[in-house]
Structures are given as structure tokens and as C-alpha cells.
Amino acid sequence: MAKHALSFLIKIVLFAAIMLIVAKIIPYDDLVDFIAGRFDFQSANELTALIWGEPDTEAWESLHGYVSILINTLISIPLLSIIITAYNTITHKVKPSALPQEWAFSTLRRFAKIFAFTLLFCVLFRLLPYQSIFSERKTYSTFSMVAVVAFNLLITVTCYWFITKKITIKRSL
């Protein structure tokens, strides 16, 4: 169990490092501007309201941030798969002819995992009754909001682990 947790932690740190390197090295700001420019203010406001659950006062800036994170993720996941496939090739002696297929499947799996985890995070964020704890009329400190997001992230990780455990148990039977 500890070996799997350490491997998972290393992959998360590696992914975060790759995302930072991609953000620093690869110039994709023009692509972000192009994609964000396809939205008018009304549609940008609707999209950010869909994500936040309430109207966003700075919809353009939020939209640019979301598109930038999306593009960074779309670049970083294949790079992470290349690194992990290369490591698996060295440690497990994978045949060179199987490398493209292994890379493609690992990339698609990682995209599916990121999508499922993000969807689960958003669903839990929307469904858990945070409004019973936090009043809409008050403003709260940054620490309070970070605590709510961290709590939701903890619940998401737990649910994701439980779901994947059930899937692997069903698949192994």
C-alpha cells in the first residue's frame, strides 16, 4: 500500500512540475487569446457561471484562466505519459515496437482519469450542502475558502479511490 501511495505521490509531483515547465517554456498565450476571443461577454459569463455556480464579475479573466489551464493540461498529459512510458521501458524491458501503443493507451487513460476526477470534484462541490454552513450574505476569509476546497478535495480523493477500487475488484473477478 505504501509503495502505491508513494508512486501516486511521485506521479502527482511530476505532473505538477511538468505543468509548471510547460507554462514557463511553451508560448501558448496566442492560442488562449484566440479561443477566448471566440466567446462574447454573454457566453463567457454563462460558461463561468456554469463552472462557479454563480455569475462571475470578471468573466473574461476567468475564461482566460480556464482556457490556459485546459491547454496546459492537454500539453502536459502526453508529456507525462512519455516520461512514464520511458521509465517503464527501462525498468520493465518493454519491447520498442510496443512503445507507441503503450504511450497512446496511457495518455488516453490519464485523460479519462483527469476528466473523471474533475467531474467528481465539481459534482461533489455542487451537491454537498456548503450553503448550510456558509451564509451567502457574509464574506469569508481566504483561509476558510481554502479549507472548504481542501475538504472537498479530500472527499473527492476518497470517493475516487473507492470507485477505482470497486472497478478493479469487479474487473479482477
Residue-by-residue pLDDT tens, the chain, 173 positions? 677 778 878 888 999 999 999 999 999 889 988 988 888 888 888 888 887 777 778 888 888 888 999 999 999 999 999 999 888 888 877 777 888 898 999 999 999 999 999 899 888 888 888 777 777 777 778 888 888 889 988 999 889 888 888 887 766 65
Q: Are 19 and 72 in contact (CB under 8 A)?
A: yes
Find, among 152, 148, 73, the residue nearest to 107 by Cα.
Answer: 73
- Answer whether 0.85 is exceeded by the pTM: no
- At residue 52, the pLDDT reads 74
d(CA 162, CA 169): 11
Is 159 in a helix, a strand, or coil?
Answer: helix
d(CA 86, CA 106): 12
- At residue 23, the pLDDT reads 92
User: 91: which 3 cell numbers?
Assistant: 525498468
- At residue 170, the pLDDT reads 66
- At residue 171, the pLDDT reads 61
Q: Are 120 and 156 in contact (CB under 8 A)?
A: yes
For residue 4, give Cα distances in angstroms to 16, 37, 78: 18, 43, 22
Q: Are 156 and 121 in contact (CB under 8 A)?
A: yes
